[in-house]
Amino acid sequence: MKFEHIPVIATETIENLNIKSDGVYLDLTLGKGGHSKMILERLSDEGTLIALDQDKEAIEAAKENLKDFSNVIFINSNFEKIDEVLRDLGFDYIDGALMDIGVSSYQIDNADRGFSYMKDGPLDMRMNQENELTAEIIVNEYSQDELEKIFFEYGEEKFSKLIAKNIIKAREDYRIDTTFKLKDIVTKSIKSNEAHPEKRVFQALRIEVNRELDVLKDTIDKVVDHLNKDERLAIITFHSLEDRIVKNKFKDLATDCICPPEFPVCVCNHKAKVKIITRKPITASKKELKENSRAKPAKLRVCQRI
């Protein structure tokens, strides 16, 4: 299957990175390389782009898309390992970084990857296919309480208890091993007129399989610590849970004291590391939304090292 992915809020993202032609930049979510290509077009031969993705298929597609550039280093790794990646490459500091959180269009459109509730396929959802945990394992082996917690916390699903109960009941008769088997259980559990009530459960499972929220929290701190002074981190998110993490993490990193307000004096010794560039998130323009409807939920936030 051809790997297609249209980068969202691309122009605004690249503009906010204030790219220097001889700088060192990170694309922590390479995908097909749409954002990376725009960075590379602004770099001279003295500049370097380090491009990470945990999906080997994405790496191979990006290598083809970026074959005209010699100053890009491809790394097949999860961005939570950025400390060791930079150490192994001999870079202590960088001049900017980009994170485009979420699933690529290719991963969604490829039924074999199991991300989509629109196409029947194996219940997989792994971004890194070498990982052992799959959505099928979660759905068929987690307890009812564990499933309910995942659906409620990661999907914000108000019918999480009923859905979990019906999954437990269904798996007494058969293994829930395809996306459509799961979709059928979820839609029958929810009394709703919305087009795709199963989307929140699929989102929750994807987050659990790939540990997305925990990895995001940890990685923001790591990347900021590697930024040179006055350089920027840009993060694009696609749902409220991710955006809330980025918003709150940027706020904490931009605050000197994070002691509880009832403390009479500061005891945390916390010092601000960044200033927030985007007080409100940047969203897709009307023109972009006409060309790419998948950009609708995207939000861009940017901070700058101080």
145 is in an annotated binding site: no
252 is in an annotated binding site: no
Q: What is the helix, strand, coil percentage profile of the chain, to 5?
A: 45, 15, 40
| Runs of H (alpha helix) within 56-159 | 56-65, 82-89, 105-109, 135-141, 144-155
Contacts 24+ apart (CB under 8 A), 240-248: 240/156, 241/154, 241/156, 241/207, 241/213, 242/101, 242/102, 242/212, 242/213, 242/216, 243/281, 243/299, 243/301, 245/213, 245/216, 245/217, 245/220, 246/216, 246/220, 246/301, 247/281, 247/301
Structural Rg of the chain based on CA atoms: 20
Beta-strand pair 274-276/94-100: unpaired
92 is in an annotated binding site: no
35 is in an annotated binding site: yes
CA 170/CA 182 separation, integer angstroms: 10
27 is in an annotated binding site: no
100 is in an annotated binding site: yes
Degrees, nearest 5: CA angle 145-162-297: 90
The conformation of residue 112, written as its DSSP 8-state character, comes to G
53 is in an annotated binding site: yes
Binding residues for S-adenosyl-L-methionine: 33-35, 53, 79, 100, 107
Binding residues: 33-35, 53, 79, 100, 107
